[in-house]
A and B are shown apart, each in its own frame.
Chain A
């Protein structure tokens, strides 16, 4: 069975500093990995994905994620955080054969001015 772990419930950073939101995964085959963001009172929005190819993938709003197969990680990063990045972030892994995704428990990112 596939699983995703987000080891930090909360991440706090100062505006302008780099941010990292961590994610590790467990799958039996090739990993198909996703990051989503949820703003207050909104549904989840797709940020970026890793399917194959370059280990560094770029997504919306200046976010990027680094895939590391040996560490089974897919950490979300941004070089310079904005207050507007404050939100709940979810990592997910998709079982392509079964067609469904498993989500982590989420990490609340707070960016302070």
Chain B
């Protein structure tokens, strides 16, 4: 099993619908992150969490919300999806040291 699992892998949804992307990890890491990838724009941070009671906004949090249900689970919600939220979404985890992130395989979201 993957260390960081994202579901669904692909999703097509309609404008205005609410959608949740889920992330779970078996790394035992405290820190979890949601990034969005757009062609030519790299990865941009949406939200991050250092523990269950700690949630922080990233650089592009408008239109998104998150929930850290447990140390191992971190979900991203789009309350009312819009077409410019069409992107590839990545969940990542890390410990509090100097190691690199561990990424999930991504969720490709299309809003029509």
* Chain B interface, number of residues (Cβ within 8 angstroms): 26
Chain B residues near A34: list those with CB within 8 A: 100-101
Within 8 A of B (CB), among A65-113: 90, 94, 96, 99-106
How many Å from the CB of A32 to the closest CB on chain B?
A: 6
**Residue from the list A44, A49, A51, A100 in contact with B103, Cβ < 8 A:** A44
The B interface, classified by DSSP as helix, strand, loop or mixed, is strand
Do A46 and B102 contact each other (CB < 8 Å), given the known contacts A99-B50, A99-B96, A100-B58?
A: yes
**Residue from the list B35, B50, B92, B98 in contact with A49, Cβ < 8 A:** B98
Q: Tell me the bound Cα distance from A9 to B98 in angstroms.
A: 28
* Chain A interface, number of residues (Cβ within 8 angstroms): 22
Contact, CB under 8 Å: A99 / B48: yes
Most buried by B among A42, A46, A94, A101: A101
**Which residues of A line the B interface, CB within 8 A?**
9, 32, 34, 36, 42-46, 49, 51, 90, 94, 96, 99-106
**Which residues of B line the A interface, CB within 8 A?**
4, 31, 33, 35, 40-45, 48, 50, 58, 90, 92, 94, 96, 98-106
Q: A90-B42, A103-B44 are in contact. List 14 more A-B contacts (CB 8 A).
A: A9-B40, A34-B100, A43-B4, A43-B103, A44-B43, A45-B103, A51-B98, A94-B98, A99-B50, A101-B45, A102-B45, A103-B43, A105-B40, A106-B42
